[in-house]
Amino acid sequence: MRFEEALSNYGNLVDSRLEACFRELVWDAEKYHSFIGRVYAHAAEFLLRKGKRIASYSTLLTYKGYKGMVNEEILTVCVAVEFYRHSILVHDDLIDRDEMRRGGKSFHKLFAEFNDRFGEGLAVFTGNILLALALTTLLNAGFDRRTLQEAVKLLIKDYCAVNESQILDLLFEHKEPDVEEWKVMASKRAASLFRATLGIGAILGGAPSSDLRILEQAGTCMGYSFDIQDDIIGTFATEDQYGRPTGGDIMLRKKPLHMVYAYQMLRGRRLSLLKSLLRGGSLDQGDVMRIKEIIRRSGALDKAKQTARSYAREAVRLIRATAMSEEAKASLQGLIKFVVGSLDWYK
């Protein structure tokens, strides 16, 4: 079976469980208040929009790699990972002022019927609820308490980490970080997500402690690669490819790696032009197009792609060094290849 087909089949499996969870959640919420029922119904729609489910799939593959099977308990954990992932995305879209997510409205835009503050407040609270649902679902997955405690500790640790990274991401909108400072920030962004998802699958699957350390490093490398790829998509993809308008990171003066490299590689008039555009007032689409072209011509986009591929290769090397089954190793390598393979789509 091709990797994309396996990923799609897995997504359908998890979606059916998410639907079942939300049916019960909506029913309970409506007993409390009809509007709260509506909030949960919108949360269900938001989570069930077709995504790749890469985070929870990495948990499943790692667990299967040590346990040798897929069971109801790990599928419940995968639902918890989806709650966790989307708790971050709801807040992410709010902070970045993104109005679209996977072809639909961002969560804070689903409730803008009164004013922006109303929708933004609901997004804050719903993101918090999704995190609580993640922890509750994980704790009720049916594993022994000691093992679950280790998994929960890892999830909480990396949730703190990803929030710390988002603080730095906001800071970088107002300064020019160098490559090392970008790496410090990114070491707790998607890297935290993949450390958590790989680690939880390994802990619950009974992996040896030596493998947990290896997978921590592999998750970090996967996260770096994913972050670089995701930022490139957000800048250089078309709206049809991305499912929402692109160029938002430039509008917010964010500093993804390709922008950091551009500052490093540009000289003279082109560097001055880039800085003047990013330090000026509001940007229009013409400015965004000029900035994209400056980044391309500087060689920064190609260098960022090379860096993403380098981290992906290191992640593969580390995964090969574990005691996971060969089938699981091949599947995780397919996941990594799938992520970095899309780099060639954006030029």
Q: What is the DSSP string of 82-98?
A: HHHHHHHHHHHHHHHT-
b vs e for 246-276, b when ≥16 Cβ sit within 10 Å of the residue's Cβ?
bbbbbbbbbbbbbbbbbbeebeeeebeebee
Q: Is residue 347 part of a domain?
A: no
What gap in Å lies between CA 331 and CA 3, rounded to an integer? 7
Under 8 Å between Cβ of 302 and 236: no
Q: Is residue 86 part of a domain?
A: yes
What are φ and ψ of residue 62, in 5° steps?
Answer: -65, -45
User: How many domains does the chain fold into?
Assistant: 1
What gap in Å lies between CA 162 and CA 87, rounded to an integer? 12
Helix runs in 140-267, H state only: 145-171, 179-186, 190-205, 209-236, 239-242, 248-251, 257-265
Q: Could you list the residue range(s) of the whole structural domain that residue 80 is in? A: 3-342
What gap in Å lies between CA 291 and CA 66, rounded to an integer? 47
Contacts of 80 (CB under 8 A, 6+ apart): 133, 134, 135, 137, 138, 141
Q: Is residue 301 part of a domain?
A: yes
CATH of the domain at 289: 1.10.600.10
Neighbours of 337 (CB within 10 A): 12
Residue with tokens 């077709």: 50
pTM: 0.94
Walk along the chain (347 residues) and give the pLDDT tens digit of each residue. 677 888 888 989 999 999 999 999 999 999 999 999 999 999 999 999 978 899 999 999 999 999 999 999 999 999 999 999 999 999 999 999 888 888 899 999 998 788 999 999 999 999 999 999 999 999 999 999 999 999 999 999 999 999 999 999 999 999 999 999 999 999 999 999 999 999 999 999 999 999 999 999 999 999 999 999 999 988 887 666 655 666 788 988 999 999 999 999 999 899 999 998 888 778 888 889 999 999 999 999 999 999 999 999 999 999 999 999 999 999 999 999 988 877 665 55
